[in-house]
Amino acid sequence: NAGVTQTPKFQVLKTGQSMTLQCAQDMNHNSMYWYRQDPGMGLRLIYYSASEGTTDKGEVPNGYNVSRLNKREFSLRLESAAPSQTSVYFCASSPEARAGLNYGYTFGSGTRLTVV
Amino acid sequence: AQSVTQLGSHVSVSEGALVLLRCNYSSSVPPYLFWYVQYPNQGLQLLLKYTSAATLVKGINGFEAEFKKSETSFHLTKPSAHMSDAAEYFCAVSNNAGNMLTFGGGTRLMVKP
């Protein structure tokens, strides 16, 4: 019963370095999401993928790119990391995303990223 | 656009006391509302959700929440706190397109012996 798996769990980057956060789900969900969590600000949506082959910007997309590799996998890339991107990153999935319906999300355990 | 306000970033209760975590939302359409719990170093787990079927929603671990449209509130309660309830709790509202959850800032619940 893996659910949503994120790798790595911890990462330290230097300013300007790049990296990709990986996310995979085994629940056959159509929709996947990337959030960042900062103290006192709750979770903010970075990007989402309503279905395989589609991606859309969320609330805070600047400095990030995403790839929906297949139905299971949704990766988040930081091209040139900045200290402001120090955060905890969560991947989530849900059966689908459409008007008038929301099942809620299943979350991964997070990636704690520090940019120095 | 929808938004969520959680009053009180920290709430402390004694074991056995009532737990009340407050959530107010703004939404231009009938909302879908959620409460999530986050234990240390873990992801968020769904506690309960309101999807317009019933205004009083029961969730896991003895928690419940009542949707009050007139007050635009969705407060989370539990009659008797347990030490294991210590965690951070997030209220969230869905947009009408169903493709985005907007989260409140979170409330950290501390339970004293």
Read off the pLDDT of residues B91-100 as tens digits, 9 standing for 90 and up: 999 877 777 8
Min Cα–Cα distance to chain A from B3, Å: 12
Across A47-66, average pLDDT:
94
- Cross-chain Cβ contact B4/A42 below 8 Å: yes
Q: CA A26 to CA A47: how far, in whole Å?
A: 20
Model pLDDT, residue A101: 66
Whether residue A1 has pLDDT greater than 70: no
State phi, psi for B4 to the nearest 5 degrees: -135, 135
Average pLDDT along chain B = 91
Which H helix or E strand runs over B94? strand B87-94
Instruction: Indicate the pLDDT class of residue B26, thresholds 50, 70 and 90.
Output: confident
The full 3-state SS of B10-70, as one line of letters, equals EEEEECCCCEEECCEEECCCCCCEEEEEECCCCCEEEEEEECCCCCEEECHHHCEEEEEHH
- Name which of A99, A104, A106 is nearest B97 (Cβ-Cβ): A99
CA distance A107 to chain B (A): 6
CB contact under 8 A, A100 and B44: no
Alpha-carbon span B49 to B57, nearest angstrom = 7
pLDDT of residue A42: 86
Q: Mean pLDDT over residues B15-20, rounded?
A: 97
- CB < 8 Å to B102, chain A: 45
What is residue A99's predicted lDDT score, i.e. its pLDDT? Answer: 57
With a cut of 80, say whether residue A32 has pLDDT above it. Answer: yes
**Distance (Å) from the alpha carbon of B104 to chain A's nearest alpha carbon:** 5
Query: A68-116, pLDDT tens digit by residue?
Result: 989 999 999 999 999 999 999 999 998 876 655 677 889 999 999 999 9
Locus of tokens 């992801």: B43
Beta bridge partners of A65: A77
Q: Is B60 left (phi over 0), alpha (psi -120 to 50) or beta?
A: beta
CB–CB of B109/B13 below 8 Å? Answer: yes
Taking an 8 Å cut-off on Cβ atoms, the answer to whether B99 and A40 are in contact is no
Which range has the worst mean pLDDT, A98-112, B41-55, B68-82? A98-112
Write out chain A residues lying below 8 Å of B34, CB-based. 104
Strand partners, B12: B110
Of the residues A88, A102, A105, A109, the best mutation for testing chain B's interface (the one with the most B CB atoms within 10 Å of its CB) is A102
Beta strands in A4-110 (DSSP E): 4-7, 10-13, 19-25, 31-37, 43-49, 56-57, 64-68, 74-78, 87-94, 106-107
pLDDT score of A96: 77
